[in-house]
Structure 1
Amino acid sequence: MRRIAVVCMAVLAAFAVFATVRQDAVSETYSQVVDNSDKGRFAASKSWKKSDSGKGINGDDYLFAAPAKKGAHALFEVAIPNNGLYAVYVRWPEVRGLNDRAPVGVETPYGTKWTEVDQRKDGGKWVRIGEFEMRKDEKFPIRISHDTKGKGNVAADAVKVEKVSSYEQPAAINSTGSAAPSEGTRTTSATGADVARKAISMAAAFKKSGVKYRWGTCTSTLMSCTCFTKKVYANFGITLPMDELGQSRYGRPISKSALRAGDLVYFKENGLSGPITHVGVYVGRNSSTGQQMISHMNSYWGTTVTSEMRYIRGYAGARRLV
């Protein structure tokens, strides 16, 4: 009997530990939806009109506005519980006459990141526009604008955020004296050379297919420098955020003299006291000239290129992710 009692107590203790772990895991997840009808969570000027026509409306109705220069935004007060990385979704109804270039803005620690969505498509669905670093208790962190050159009304129905992770901190030094990988580094059998080859080939392919530069954008036809690096490292199981500072926190720091093909490099083009403004993938030295080379989305050329790194001002550091 005593042995049975001991076994039972052990099982109960194990279950309690499991329950605690499960509770902790659940508490780490976070999702919130804000609808245009949520009092205290939504604000819009009189230029936005109410409608209940169409299919797939979230709630009873939505607001719409015609394109207007400097038009007031529709503001969504989504609660951000902690500083971290969040996936942002937007929803609009399935109705004719909506805008093909509706701007959606997300407040981040580095300014408002704008993404254009085609509201003629995917009506009545949650459309993911990207992952963003967002700050706790930010006022009206998501906004929809009708200041657009697109055609058709802009709809403001509902938005949703889902927590991806807490802010990644710079890599810590472990007990052996080497840098411990951050949460942004994923286990992979790939080498830095594999990353470099992929970056070079993707830069050439994007350029050939006509992909153009646009700040803060990540689509199949328009992308920023952070979008390019995000797409490259995604091939190796590494998920990067869409901002320069966020990407510079992943992996472990590497000195310029120790650069290796496949490292993420970043720059402060407006001076070393300013913010990080550009990122790319270091791909090694040119075998003919010996110059250090980088594959990146380049705003000057307006597309993706592999070019000499010395022509980019303000080298600020590098991180090793693979």
Structure 2
Amino acid sequence: MKKQQWFKQAIVIGMCTTIGFSTLIASGAGTAPVAAASVSSSSTGQKIINLGKKYMGTRYVFGASTSTTRYFDCSSFTKYIFSKYGVNLPRTSAAQSKVGKAVSKSNLRVGDLVFFSSGSRANGKNVTHVAVYAGNGKILHTYGKPGVTVSNLNSGTWKKTYLKARRVL
């Protein structure tokens, strides 16, 4: 009688263990933390892009207040959309270019900040503009007449004036 009871318990424990491990593997809970972190940061980057795109066409005003969404300048825009996902960026593009970690243009991920020396204050060295990498060679940002827009990072003004990128996620 005791052997039968022990055998039943062993089978139940074995089945529970198998189900538990299968669930753990299927859920991805047993994967490396690095993989989980990059999935998390890339999905946050996409959420930031999606939020930013809701403001397409919103007017550009240099020196815009960070307390309004009726208009933006480049850095108030990035500060606003990143803040909605818990990333507190400094106010100016030059200050934003010093946070996070450097990332090469060839390793950009959705949600990385990209910096330029463009416009009337540009000298080819100082940061005067910030955008968010949106994937597939595109950037989400705001400037001049179009306001919030998507541009091609690898052509025209943006290709010529690109300086660097930073990862803050």
**TM-score w.r.t. length of structure 1:** 0.36
Note closer, same or farther for the CA distance 1:193–1:294 as it changes in structure 2 (3 Å cut).
farther
Q: How far, CA to CA, are the matches of 2:161 and 2:99 in structure 1?
A: 20
Q: Give the alignment of 1:160-239 within 5 angstroms.
A: 190-199=40-49, 201-207=50-56, 211-217=58-64, 218=66, 219-239=68-88
- The secondary structure found in structure 2 opposite 1:296 is strand
- Larger proportion of helix: 2
- Runs of 4+ deviating beyond 6 Å: none
**TM-score w.r.t. length of structure 2:** 0.66
Report the Cα offset of residue 242 of structure 1: 1.3
- The secondary structure found in structure 1 opposite 2:91 is coil
> Do the aligned partners of 2:48 and 2:111 also contact (CA within 8 Å) in 1?
no
RMSD over aligned CA atoms reads 2.2
Residue ranges of structure 2 left out of the alignment (5+ in a row):
1-36
Q: Give the alignment of 1:107-126 within 5 angstroms.
A: none
Report the Cα offset of residue 314 of structure 1: 0.9
1:56 corresponding residue in structure 2: none
- The secondary structure found in structure 2 opposite 1:306 is strand
Report the Cα offset of residue 262 of structure 1: 1.2
Aligned residues: 125
Note closer, same or farther for the CA distance 1:259–1:204 as it changes in structure 2 (3 Å cut).
closer
Note closer, same or farther for the CA distance 1:236–1:202 as it changes in structure 2 (3 Å cut).
closer
Report the Cα offset of residue 224 of structure 1: 0.4
Q: Deviations over 1:202-229 (max 9, x none)?
A: 333213xx62100111322121000111
1:272 corresponding residue in structure 2: 124
Q: Deviations over 1:271-322 (max 9, x none)?
A: 423x21110110111xxxxxx0011112241x11122113324100000111
> Do the aligned partners of 2:97 and 2:166 also contact (CA within 8 Å) in 1?
yes
The one of 148, 151, 154 equivalent to 1:304 is 148
Q: Deviations over 1:113-141 (max 9, x none)?
A: xxxxxxxxxxxxxxxxxxxxxxxxxxxxx
Q: How far, CA to CA, are the matches of 1:231 and 1:316 in structure 2?
A: 22
- The secondary structure found in structure 2 opposite 1:191 is helix
Q: How far, CA to CA, are the matches of 2:140 and 2:86 in structure 1?
A: 19
1:251 corresponding residue in structure 2: 100
State the identity as a percent: 30
Q: How far, CA to CA, are the matches of 1:203 and 1:320 in structure 2?
A: 17
Q: How far, CA to CA, are the matches of 2:40 and 2:73 in structure 1?
A: 25
Residue ranges of structure 1 left out of the alignment (5+ in a row):
1-186, 286-291
1:242 corresponding residue in structure 2: 91
Q: How far, CA to CA, are the matches of 1:239 and 1:197 in structure 2?
A: 16
1:315 corresponding residue in structure 2: 162
> Do the aligned partners of 2:59 and 2:145 also contact (CA within 8 Å) in 1?
no
- Larger proportion of strand: 1
> Do the aligned partners of 2:48 and 2:85 also contact (CA within 8 Å) in 1?
no
